[in-house]
Chains A and B, each alone.
Chain A
Amino acid sequence: MGSNKQEVEVSYDVSNEFFRLWLDERMNYTCAVFESEHQSLEAAQLNKLSILSDFAKVTANKSVLDIGCGWGACLEYLATSRSVKRAVGVTLSSSQAEEVNRRKLPGVECVESDFMKWETTEKFDALVSICMLDHLCSPEEARKGKAIDIYRAYFKKCHEVTNPGAWFGLQTILRNKIPRIKKDLEDIYFCTHVIFPGGLNPRLEDIVQAVNPYWEIITVKQRRHDYERTTAEWLRRMRLHEARIRQEWGDHVFDDYDRYLSTCVRAFDQFYSSLAQYELRRLDA
């Protein structure tokens, strides 16, 4: 497997307070979609959730599963803005699961589990999964040619936990061109090994191959510049709190996250990386 529990906790358990300083108020830790030049990060995050919920054909009476739910921004959006009666989230991180359940959102339940091993008899009508797939395959596994099999197992599991007629709003980071500049390679290597250990982003063609024979791709939207803008905004906000971060969490936390976010901005600009959103329809037997 890609990132295990310890590795995921390296990425998300620095401290909820730390992330609260620079993410939007609902703590979406993924790409937002900006509708205009002046839109705020908060509004752009809601816009992203609305796009993915539309891809998943969410309505109030459908049960929705959010795979890799983070701090629950999407679950909260589903319960409040879309009046969804039952929304379940799965996350590998215990601090995220505690945080979501503490909020006691109506109809919302958060499970701490590895989705790939999660045992449930419940079937959902709609799926959302925002940048969780990026954790599934490690660089070593990709080198051994296992990426497609790993992603396909994920899409199979998604098929198993859904009812016929289900739709899926999926978002993933993508890797594209390998940098030809040593410093850029070192920075990306640092992000993959220090900030997000265990995971390697998929290539678009990996996803296209792996969805078969479980899901049909209806729409793909590339959002590379939206992620460039999102990470630039995170970096700007984080730098406003430099003194406090250095004092409370240490110089290495500030320096590592400064390097990580700066690398992201450059990687999306240079098309080393990209981001895609997919509208998927379940292939029913």
Chain B
Amino acid sequence: MTDKHDLLPMFKTVAARVDKRSFDDVTRASVITDLGVDSLSMMQIVGEMETELSIQIPDEDLVEIVTVGDLCSRVERRLV
């Protein structure tokens, strides 16, 4: 995967904007609920990433997301 398709930096920026705090230390292995991100904020983060990238992720892709990496890879999959 090229850097162009590594969405971790974008996740950090968008999450920081949505939850109004720093997400600099987050890795792909971080568990989203451990970061204190609730399901409402997560959907908002998804929505903002979709808008920025001009993509639509089907809802069924969004169930069973546990880690930041799970979320990033579901978005990355839509970019190729």
Contact = CB atoms under 8 A, between A and B. Distances in A.
B43 A179 contact: yes
Interface string A169-198: 000000001111110011001000000000
B41 A178 contact: no
Contacts of A180: 43-44, 46-48, 50
Contacts, number: 25
Nearest to A177: B59
Contacts of B59: 177-178
B8 interface: no
B62 A186 contact: no
A182 B41 CA distance: 6
Interface of A is mostly: loop
A193 to B, nearest CB: 13
B79 interface: no
Chain B interface residue number, banded:
10 to 19
B29 interface: no
Chain A interface residue number, banded:
under 10
A182 B40 contact: yes
A156 B75 CA distance: 40
Contacts of B46: 180
A182 B43 CA distance: 7
Contact of A182 (B44, B50, B62): B44
A181 B44 contact: yes
Interface string B27-61: 00000000000011101101110100000000100
Given A178-B62, A179-B43, 13 more contacts: A178-B43, A179-B47, A180-B44, A180-B47, A181-B44, A181-B47, A182-B40, A182-B41, A182-B43, A182-B44, A185-B43, A185-B44, A189-B40
13 contacts: A177-B59, A178-B59, A178-B62, A179-B43, A179-B47, A180-B44, A180-B47, A180-B50, A181-B44, A181-B47, A182-B41, A185-B39, A189-B40
